[in-house]
Amino acid sequence: MKNCNTTELNGKPLKEDLARRLGVPVLIANDANCFALAETHLGAVRQHHPDAKVVFGIIMGTGVGAGIVINGQILNGHHGIAGEWGHNVLLPDGPECYCGKRGCVETLISGPALEAWYEAKAKRHLSLARIAAATAHDHVARLTLDRLHLLFGQALANVVNILDPDVIVIGGGVGNVQSLYRAGRETLLPFLFNPRFATPMIAPALGDSAGVFGAALLARGTFREAQLS
């Protein structure tokens, strides 16, 4: 294992340990990959954009990650880190990240990061949902969301410039902030290598079950291929 935010697992042979304990073959994939796969084949992408060839499935919650699906298949990448936009550095002098860098996207626009930024300014703690609901009368709440929109747009523009997906699905608790779908789009455009941004940004359809469904799809596809070979 590597790059786990549950850092005690890093360097441990979790897949082999599970396979030995359970007595069956085991596959391991991160939750964002499973989320993206499920929303592509069973969820929002299938419902609203079934012809999409390239899907960028975002999870923004306790952490920030994503999965990339191309022609129905997860893209893992040469090092197994495809989609890990949450560890691109936005602010080199920003907060420390568990990965060892500073100012990663995850340290700035994950749910805990947004709540911590609000608390540091307002001197009280609110959940992100309450911060989002308080923008009409709470100046710090409004600043918190403005900062989210700006950093989200800047970070996502880097992805779009490289990947140019057909559709973007935004899951996780931060994905419930509805203003992302409007203000997030607007803040992305100044950083984009294109005069317009037309990519659909959609909400997921499978809720908290997406990861489970995606893991099942991953296993089904892998073991079916093994049986055919």
Confidence grade of residue 226 (pLDDT, cut at 50, 70, 90): very low
For the whole model, what pTM was predicted?
A: 0.90
The stretch 105-133 carries a mean pLDDT of 97
Alpha-carbon gap, residue 33 to 200, rounded angstroms:
19
* pLDDT (0 to 100) of residue 224: 53
Long-range contacts of 213-217 (CB under 8 A, 24+ apart): 213/34, 213/38, 213/42, 213/43, 214/29, 214/33, 214/34, 214/35, 214/36, 214/37, 214/38, 214/39, 214/67, 215/27, 215/29, 215/34, 217/34, 217/37, 217/38, 217/41, 217/42
**141: how many CB neighbours lie within 10 A of its CB?**
21
Domains of the chain with CATH codes: 30-214 (3.30.420.40)
* 8 Å CB contact between 1 and 14: yes
Stated as kind and residue range, the H or E segment containing 153 is helix 139-163
Q: Is the dihedral of CA 124, 129, 130, 133 positive or negative?
A: positive
Tell me the backbone φ, ψ of residue 62, rounded to 5 degrees.
-60, -35
pLDDT digits (tens, 9 = 90+) for 14-58: 889 998 999 988 888 888 999 999 999 999 999 999 999 999 999
Q: Kindly give the residue spans of alpha helices, DSSP state H, lying in 31-138.
A: 31-41, 44-48, 105-109, 111-122, 128-133
Alpha-carbon gap, residue 104 to 119, rounded angstroms:
20
pLDDT digits (tens, 9 = 90+) for 140-174: 999 999 999 999 999 999 999 999 999 999 999 99
β-bridge pairing 73-74 and 167-171: unpaired
Closest CA to 116 of 103, 127, 102, 105: 127
